[in-house]
Structure formats: C-alpha cells, structure tokens
Structure 1
C-alpha cells in the first residue's frame, strides 16, 4: 500500500512573527521555518503504518519555493521513502494545492492520503476536504486514531457531542488532529540517510494546474494588545463589573 503525505513549510511554531510596515503580510526576513506541526503528525502516522507492515511506501509532497526541500528532507528523516516538490511561489491557495495534489494522486495512485488538518500560518482547514471532493474519495477529518486493515480505514475523531468512529473504503483521505500521535525525535543518522533519498522536483504548470491567486489580501494587522486587568474589593464589586461593564451576567 502506498501512502501520500503532503507537508507544508511554515514559520516555526515557537517564533513570534511581526507584520510588515506596509501591512501587506507577515515579515519572514530571517525567520526560522519548519514543517507544519499537523503535517509532522501525518508523516509520523504514515511511517508507523509502514513499520507495522500495513504500507509499503510513504511519499512526502510539498508545494512551494525551492527552500521547501528542507521540509521534505525532514519528512524523509522521519521515515518517508521519497519526496516530490512541486515548485511554485509562496502563498499558493488551498484550492490550487488541492488541484496539484489531485494530479499527483492520479499519477501515484496511493491508497491513503494523510494530511495535517490545517496549516498554522493561514489556518484554512480546506485542502484535505477539497482534495477529497476533487478526487471523489471518502474522507475523515480531525483523526485522533487511525487503523488500516482489510482495505478499510477506521478513523476515530472527536466531535462536539463526544467521539465518532468512521469506516472508509480505501483509497481515502484522512486529516490529522493533535491527539493522533507524538512525532518521533529525528536522529542524526536518519538526517544523513535522508540526504540520499530521492527528491523529485516538478513545476505546477507541468501538472496542468493554474496557481494564480483568487483572493487578495487587503491588509494584515497585529491583534490589539490586551488591556491590563483591575482588582476589585470584594465579590459584590466583581459581580457589578461583570453585569455593568462586561455585560456577561
């Protein structure tokens, strides 16, 4: 069984970002970039399935600039077998990414596509669902447990009312939640091995996909700073403030 895992290069989760002076976007100058945390979980799950003998090959895919090769090498170090970079400018929108992935699904014919549920830079939470729709595949989002056996994927997911279990006939699309697993620590020997694993580079136009943006960012601003709290003398004063000022009672 072949598993396809898309990964995205994003600003490292531990970095505090700042907005450009002209408010056109986030300033990425000299900012540390890493693999999207949800995608890291997806790679880990795919590699675990391979280690369990369920899968035979794990393919990591990324869409973006040439520097995304570093992100793919990280996926290879975790345990992916080969990688594909679809070279394009930064900021490819979810629909264009889904169309690119659809073209790769048609070419590679994977039995399972595992994606992070969303990227931490734009929080769109759209690519997995769009890919499933374009490819006509069953989908299960926000997976907290995944079991693959007998041509089916059984996915447990948390919903507002509790827990839900879905059974999907393969091929299928699954997006990962934080509770699915904890990614392994990548060792130096595996990082060295990743440098020798195959990494193919193609262009978006080679796949017949137009990545022209459909959306225009008008302005990016930082969230307003939180105002300082106040101390109250007693419970009665607190209740009055909640009633009169906050209007939550």
Structure 2
C-alpha cells in the first residue's frame, strides 16, 4: 500500500467519500486526454469563428462533424445512446441536449450553448460555450455573464483534498445571489477514458460534502443556470431535449478540469 492508498484509506475510515484508484488518471493517460481536449478546444474555436445570425443549428452540426473528423477525431455525441447528431445546440429556453435542426435558425437576441465532445485515439474530452447572437436583452446578458462567473468561482473552489461540494456551494451561492437558480437533477461527470465516468458532479450540494478531490481526478464543471425555476421537462418526441418548465432562459458553460497536486488545471473550455 503506497502513501496515496494510505491517505485514501484513512479518509474513507473517517467517513469521507473517496474516488476509486481507477478514477485517478496516470501521466500517460493525462497526456493522451489532453490531445483530445486540444482538438475539442479547436472545434469550439472553429464554431466561434463561424456562428452567426441566420445560420441553422444543423450548420453548426456540420461544422463540428467536418472539423473533428478532418483532424482525426470522432464527435462523441454522434450515435451515443441514440443521439442523432455530432453536437448539442441548446437555444434560449433549452437547458441542454438540444438537437441540431435545419429548421432552427439563429436570430437576433438568441443565446445558444454549443456543447462539443471529442474522441481522439480512444480518449474523451468535453466542453461547452455560450454564444450570443447580435444584440441580446439585458436579462440575457446578465444570465450569460453570471453563468461564466459561476464556473470561474467553481474552478477557484476546486482544490486538491477539498470536496466536490465546495465547487457546488460556490456556484449555487453566486447564482442565487444574482436571482437565478441552478438545475438540481442534471450535473457534471468524470471523463477521459469514457464519455461519462464517476463521479457525478452536483452543483447544489453543501460545502465540504461529496467526494474528496484527489489529484488525478478529471471531471466537468458545467452548471446549468436558469432565469426562473430550476425545474425542467424533457421533449417526449425526441427523448433528449431538456426545456425550462417556465419557458425562461437557461445558460450553461462547461470546463473540463484535472485536479493536480498544486490546484486545478483546465483541459478544455
């Protein structure tokens, strides 16, 4: 039993939730996952350079598919548990898992989350950005801005040997202080060797709770911040798209992070 095993065993004996060693990435795995993450960032940059008023969300899907495959990658969402497209495009009142559609045209005042996930040489990466189309309302601007602040505060709260709940507390507190709500039943996830790994990452749990943040852990920080109620419903027709229950706006920004001995490292955003 090495020093890390002893430390994990000691924490577990005190009632702390600790990750299985299989969740701690090796230096070799981290290097390979970072290559996937670099491509993921490049895909998002490619979308940022082309997204515009008047384009369809289907066009965004083609941008993502073409760029990813031309650079040796595979879009992770494509055919994942039956998802039909290469990217999630969530506009205005869509919380997440929006499906690109040739009939969905971006218009002045829209806000859209583009969620890109990439497989490269068998390794996974995942991040999303909010884009604003033309002049948006002051309310939409505040929501997008506060969502970005929430993610940055969550990142700042992520410290080795702290807890996932520290991240959640920072995010939930800031969102509520600004009059917004955090979606409770959809969260982040571990990633790297699979698309979705443990741990589940909540954004509404108390400070000091949940899994201990051990160096080598890799997961997403991706809170979904709603203008109104945190409640939602899922489109019965496609079984994927998640909408706000009150038709209010929703925003989400996703970073993929690695806990290190000295802090936290953003792999793609």
Higher Rg: 1
Q: Into which bin does the TM-score normalised by the smaller protein fall?
A: under 0.3
**TM-score scaled by length of structure 1:** 0.25
